[in-house]
A and B are shown apart, each in its own frame.
Chain A
Amino acid sequence: MKRFWTILKHRPIAFAALVVLIILYTGMVFCEFLAPYGRNELFAQHSNEPPNLIWYSSELGFRPQVQRMVLINDITREYVRVKGEYTAVRFFTRGPEVRMWGLVSIKTHLFGTASYGGGEEKFQPVFLFGADNLGRDVFSRILYGSRISLTIGFVGVAISLTLALLFGGLAGYFGGIWDWIIMRLCEFIILVPGLYLILFLRSILSTNLDSGQTYALITVILSFVGWPGTARMIRGMVHAIKRNDFVANAELESMPSLVIIFRHIVPQMSSILVVSVTLGVPGFILGETILSYLGLGIVDPAVSWGSMISRDATSISNLVSFPWLLIPGLFLLLVTLSFNFLGELLRDALDPHWKERQGG
């Protein structure tokens, strides 16, 4: 553990990655409070409006504020700023009533424009990252979407790792025919190209599911495709660890085989497993993104970053005219990179052979 902080001090990028992840996950936890608007809250007048937050105006001075924009071209959805019309952004303002984590009802949000609830015409919403074609705040949707995108990784990895440990552990410990069967099963699954397997599995299952069921289904499918690779690695490690005399001694103490595998052998691999988890999470996040992008994943009213990209960022004209719709992709990039840097850091911190090079 000490090693972790020592190495962290020497790696500014990994440190930044850790900070980024902490921020993102905190945002995810408190998204109802942090998002100024609801998940599917429409502002029809503001369809495809660009980000409208500015920091200075002659009228209000240096403070976050919103400048009103008016649509001048209905077809290209081009907006211009209206001089002179500014609305201040306030903190801890009233916003839509939402339930935090489905439990507690709140009306106060971290920030917003004071005029919420004052009627459609006068209301000037703040769009940090602009709005989509239905007038929904992209920033709020990113926050709500992170609930799915950021957690699917962990849930998926948990399932995948459990399967891998079970099969890999049994194969590596018992060897013989079990090893053969399990390894051939793994190889078979690995042989099928992952993406096609995912698509195949998803498409043969009903598309009439609600968002919760869809989430579960996607997670299960991704885990199913992901476990054989890790299982093979675990099997090899179990095989090697089994050669240690303390394992032989455990057999001589008449410990049941399952106890030996999971209480004595697997803990020796804990550092590898931690790293495997950390580096595996982005894979799941991207998997969900791909599924959603292809329309087989999260659908409205649920929102994930993948579904946002799928809806909004699929045509060049869209991207050229409304580049802010690609911001969910930036978040994906950020998360993936952060997990990778963090994973490398953990791998080095937990590796007993890693040497600190101090000086020449």
Chain B
Amino acid sequence: MGERGATALSVHGLTVSFRTGEGLLQAVRGLDYSVARGQCLGIVGESGSGKSVCATAALGLLDKSADVRGSIEIDGRLLSELTDEQKRLLRGRAISIIFQEPSRSFDPIYSIGKTFEETIRAKEASVSAAECRSRAVKLLGEVHIPRAEERLKNFPHQFSGGMLQRIMIALALANDPEILVADEPTTALDVTIQAQIVGLLRELQVKRGLSLIFISHDLRLVAQIADRIMVMYGGLVLELGDAEEVLRHPRSPYTRALLDSVPEWGSHYSAGNLISIAGAVPNPVRPEPGCPFAPRCGLVRDECRARLPDLLEAPGEPAIAAERAGESLVHGMTLYRCVVPGVKR
């Protein structure tokens, strides 16, 4: 397995494109990030930002029609050097994922117990049924499903959305992964359940020393759980920094705009309009040259449209080499992509 370094996952120069009927869809256009052991990285973005793709690429879950370039290192091992079989074993044991719609993530004709059995046996073929069952009960206990022993016999449709998501988390942890990717895990759930799931993920992260990648479109939600936040737009990183810092002192105009789009708690329309952003999210099939946010940015200048701004290190020193982005481990460091240094409101 290799010695345990401080970095659980490290991604350099990631580009992902898909060949579609309409042309080349560039989902991710050059990304560097890393996650330390026991750390939570939050990836925030809207539709088309590439946020899901940059994580599912790490699991090798992308279709053969996807063109994935760059290096992905999990626990010190380069993905590109592994065979398909080795990659398959890596999934679940080194890195695991939970998805958005819990009701669609289960095979409806298998009981929960059977699903656990299948998941455990996929990586360890020789585990007995009784052993699978007892492991399942333990896992369900960790995610606070009451009467776990009984409920192993139940089918997915007999659980609520929130409980299914918790079972999903338990399944993802069944093979003891080091890294857990949560792709919009609460978007389809009610807000009161959302709070519980986030709380549960935090608890598990601490208890098991998991590295967590939490993907969402909700910046404020991500700030609840993430240590570091990466804001994506149009397939690129626009800001990367400590959660509190990104939230309180956003440097990228896009992050600022995202925060402004949602009404402040307690505000009312009678007091004034929301600061809204005109336009729509960019089309990943035909990315414009220059900054992806330029068409909608309030501070846009000509140079923004001409070429892609580099990543700057706050508080606005001249461009640092992009490799530093890979050192997401470094707390206190904020990177953002804008030609206007130190933009604050």
Contact = CB atoms under 8 A, between A and B. Distances in A.
Direct contact of A and B (CB under 8 A): yes
Interface string B18-45: 0101000000000000000000000000
Contacts of A359: 19
Contacts of B65: 355, 357
Interface string B48-72: 0000000000000000110000000
B69 to A, nearest CB: 15
B21 A356 contact: yes
A360 B64 contact: yes
Contacts of A357: 65
A357 B19 CA distance: 9
Nearest to B21: A356
Interface of chain B: mostly helix, strand, loop or mixed: loop
A315 interface: no
Interface in A345-360: 355-360
Contacts of B64: 360
Nearest to A360: B64
Contacts of A356: 21
Contacts of A360: 64
B62 to A, nearest CB: 14
How many B residues touch the partner, as a band?
under 10
Interface of chain A: mostly helix, strand, loop or mixed: loop
A357 B65 CA distance: 8
A358 B21 CA distance: 9
Contacts of A355: 21, 65
A194 B188 CA distance: 48
Nearest to B64: A360
B283 to A, nearest CB: 18
A357 B21 CA distance: 9
A21 B19 CA distance: 35
A359 B67 CA distance: 12
A147 B65 CA distance: 48
A356 B19 CA distance: 10
A360 B65 CA distance: 7
Nearest to A354: B21
A197 B75 CA distance: 69
Interface in B217-274: none
Contacts of B21: 355-356
A359 B24 CA distance: 14
B10 to A, nearest CB: 28
B165 to A, nearest CB: 25
A113 to B, nearest CB: 55
Nearest to B19: A358
A355 B19 CA distance: 10
A57 B334 CA distance: 93
A359 B65 CA distance: 9
B278 to A, nearest CB: 26
Contacts of B19: 358-359
A355 B64 CA distance: 13
B20 to A, nearest CB: 8
Interface in A117-165: none
Nearest to A357: B65
Interface in B278-329: none
Nearest to A6: B21
A357 B63 CA distance: 12
Interface in B1-25: 19, 21
B17 to A, nearest CB: 13
A356 to B, nearest CB: 6
Nearest to A358: B19
Nearest to A3: B21
A358 B65 CA distance: 9
A348 to B, nearest CB: 13
Interface in A306-360: 355-360
B34 to A, nearest CB: 30
Contacts of A358: 19
A359 B21 CA distance: 13
B95 to A, nearest CB: 26
A360 B64 CA distance: 8
Interface in B61-114: 64-65
Interface string A187-209: 00000000000000000000000
B22 to A, nearest CB: 11
B285 to A, nearest CB: 15
B18 to A, nearest CB: 11
A136 B218 CA distance: 81
Nearest to A356: B21
A358 to B, nearest CB: 6
A173 to B, nearest CB: 28
A153 B264 CA distance: 66
A358 B64 CA distance: 11
A5 B119 CA distance: 45
5 contacts: A355-B65, A356-B21, A357-B65, A358-B19, A360-B64
A-B pairs with lowest CB-CB distance, top 6 = A356-B21, A358-B19, A360-B64, A359-B19, A357-B65, A355-B21
